Amino acid sequence: MTVADLVAQLVAYPPHTEVVIRDGIGWSGVSNYEIEIQEGLILSTMEDDYEDQRKQLLAGEVRGKNVIALSKSNYDSETVDPYDAKEYQEEE
């Protein structure tokens, strides 16, 4: 989804409608979280990343893509700051 896609969907709602992230908490429960927005660098394949992949992204050893990450507020999700990462360079 792009920013344009997200805006196009949200424009249909009244401007004061609250937006939350809903996430399953087990045993059929669902919790509501306020939204935090941050820039992030993720694997270019959009696969899940783990500590080793985040270290590789920071070192510029794997290809990444810049995204806008919508996450649960006050929930520490490990996200690579694109401004802290070295640029990935293709080997020639």
pTM of the complete model: 0.71
* Residue 80, pLDDT score: 76
**Do the domain assignments include residue 13?**
yes
Share of the chain above pLDDT 70, in %: 93
| Other Cβ atoms within 10 Å of 41 Cβ, number | 22
Count, in order, helices (H) and strands (E) of the chain. 2, 4
Chain centre distance of CA 54: 13
Distances (CA, A) of 23 to 34, 51, 70: 11, 23, 13
Q: Is residue 89 part of a domain?
A: no
Domain count, the chain: 1
Whether 59 maps to a domain, the answer reads: yes
Asked whether residue 88 is assigned to any structural domain, the reply reads no
Is residue 33 situated within a structural domain?
yes
Residue 83 lies in a domain: no
**Residues above pLDDT 90, as percent of the chain:** 55
